[in-house]
């Protein structure tokens, strides 16, 4: 059965903006988050607490968290790679974090400078601290349908990493097709394998649109009973460690698909399109959402 409601997780302020080469003012990031709140998003990934030498664009995340207008019922999350990042997030008033591991060894080394097993071990003290503080932790697995360095990834390998994250206490595991090579077929096989260990209600889909397959993969995921999807307003972003990767699928495009299927999200299309158009103008680039472009051209 198709889900009646879907939770959209807008990762644009983090996954999108982390990949920008030009500096972005804190005020522009704050405006983006506030616009997304106004548009009705209930989950926004605002920034990350990672090494500024690795990802300079996220250096101002604490200032962003201090300035956003929080609406009750909306989750404002931060990506944290280790205890140091977690503590910085906590000090910035963050109440939900996400950890991330790769399904491929090659990507793990390039992205966080250690093996998959080491990265999982690094999360243990973070998970403990989060538990003590009553903070929920979301888990990401990247490269679930292909890796820029290691090529094809076996679904069983993804299932192992996802299971480890789930067992250490992640309440939800987001499966990331970081380079967008997945298809409806490989997506379904992946979910069937991962769902042997983790209930489908605790899985999310994180699709990048590099090969134009993201909406097909989301549709395939919906048919598999997945009801949480990560996306990025105006299709912002990419990944600094995955060459040629385009942004996450645009939130506007996912919303259009879901509206057409009668699935509720609570998000307003006109407000969302306005939010995406504003940040695209700040960045001086064409809006990456095809739905937004079509609606704005009418
Ligand atoms: P390292 O160099 O191996 O770590 O980096 P280290 O422990 O040796 O520390 C090096 C320096 O970083 C030290 O500073 C630490 O204090 C500092 P120094 O003594 O040299 O001055 N440091 C930190 N600073 C700020 N915040 C921290 C932190 N930790 C250490 N949390 C590390 C390891 C994990 C830190 C580094 O590799 C890193 O920050 N990587 C971040 C990579 C990243 O953010 N990638 C993008 C997110 S993943 C993604 O986008 C995929 C996803 O969207 C899913 C998908 O798309 O499929 C989630
Ligand atoms: Mg991503």
| Residue of minimum CA distance from atom 40 in ligand 1 | 112
Closest CA to 249 of 5, 8, 4: 8
What does the pLDDT look like over 258-276, one tens digit per residue? 999 999 999 999 999 999 9
Closest CA to 41 of 231, 283, 261: 231
- Tell me the whole-structure pTM to 2 decimals: 0.96
CA atoms in the 13 A half-sphere facing the CB of 102:
25
Question: What is the 3-state secondary structure of 226-289?
Answer: CCEEEEEHHHCCCCCCCCCCCCECEHHHHHHHHHHCCCECCCCHHHHHHHHHHHHHHHCCCCCC
Alpha helices (H) along 49-115: 61-67, 83-91, 105-112
Whether the CB of 100 sits within 6 Å of ligand 1: yes
What does the pLDDT look like over 219-266, one tens digit per residue? 999 999 999 999 999 999 855 555 656 789 999 999 999 999 999 999
Q: Assess contact for 180 and 210: CB atoms under 8 A.
A: yes
Whether the CB of 239 sits within 6 Å of ligand 1: yes
What's the mean per-residue pLDDT of the chain? 95
Q: Which residue has the higher pLDDT, 132 or 242?
A: 132
Other C-beta atoms lying within 10 Å of the C-beta of residue 23: 10
CA atoms in the 13 A half-sphere facing the CB of 260:
9
Give dist(CA 196, CA 173) in Å, integer: 14
pLDDT at res. 20: 85
Give dist(CA 125, CA 177) in Å, integer: 27
What does the pLDDT look like over 47-62, one tens digit per residue? 999 999 999 999 999 9
Long-range contacts of 286-289 (CB under 8 A, 24+ apart): 287/234, 287/235, 288/234, 288/235, 288/236, 288/246, 288/247, 288/250, 289/233, 289/234, 289/235, 289/250, 289/251, 289/252, 289/253
Q: What is the ipTM for the molecules in this complex? A: 0.96
Whether the CB of 17 sits within 6 Å of ligand 1: no
Closest CA to 29 of 54, 66, 72, 55: 66
Give dist(CA 158, CA 154) in Å, integer: 7
Q: Assess contact for 137 and 127: CB atoms under 8 A.
A: yes
Give dist(CA 186, CA 189) in Å, integer: 5
Ligand lying nearest the CA atom of residue 177 = 1
Q: What is the mean pLDDT of residues 130-135?
A: 98
| Residues near ligand 2 ion, CB 5 Å cutoff | 15
| Residue of minimum CA distance from atom 52 in ligand 1 | 142
Q: Calculate how far, in angstroms, residue 298's C-alpha sits from the geometric centre of ligand 2.
A: 30
């Amino acid at each position: 059965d198709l889900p009646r409601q879907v939770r959209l997780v807008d990762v644009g302020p983090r996954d999108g903006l982390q990949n920008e080469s030009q500096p972005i003012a804190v005020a522009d990031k704050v405006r983006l988050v506030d616009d997304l709140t106004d548009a009705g998003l209930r989950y926004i990934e605002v920034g990350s607490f990672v090494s500024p030498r690795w990802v300079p664009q996220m250096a101002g995340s604490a200032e962003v968290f201090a300035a956003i207008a929080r609406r009750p019922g909306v989750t404002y999350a931060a990506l944290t790679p280790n205890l140091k990042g977690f503590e910085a997030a906590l000090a910035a008033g963050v109440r939900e974090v996400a950890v991330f591991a790769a399904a491929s060894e090659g990507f793990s080394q390039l992205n966080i400078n250690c093996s998959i097993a080491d990265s999982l071990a690094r999360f243990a003290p973070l998970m403990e601290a989060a538990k003590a503080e009553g903070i929920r932790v979301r888990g990401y697995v990247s490269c679930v349908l292909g890796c820029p360095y290691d090529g094809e990834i076996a679904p069983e390998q993804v299932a192992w990493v996802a299971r480890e994250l789930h067992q250490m206490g992640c309440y939800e595991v987001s499966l990331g097709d970081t380079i967008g090579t997945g298809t409806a077929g490989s997506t379904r096989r992946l979910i069937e394998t991962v769902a042997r260990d983790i209930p489908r209600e605790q899985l999310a889909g994180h699709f990048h649109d590099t090969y134009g397959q993201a909406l097909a993969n989301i549709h395939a995921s919906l048919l598999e009973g997945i009801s949480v999807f990560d996306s990025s307003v105006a299709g912002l972003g990419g990944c600094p460690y995955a060459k040629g990767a385009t942004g996450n699928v645009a939130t506007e495009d996912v919303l259009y698909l879901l509206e057409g299927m009668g699935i509720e999200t609570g998000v307003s299309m006109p407000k969302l399109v306005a939010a995406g158009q504003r940040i695209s103008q700040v960045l001086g680039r064409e809006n990456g959402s095809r739905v937004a472009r079509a609606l704005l051209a009418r």
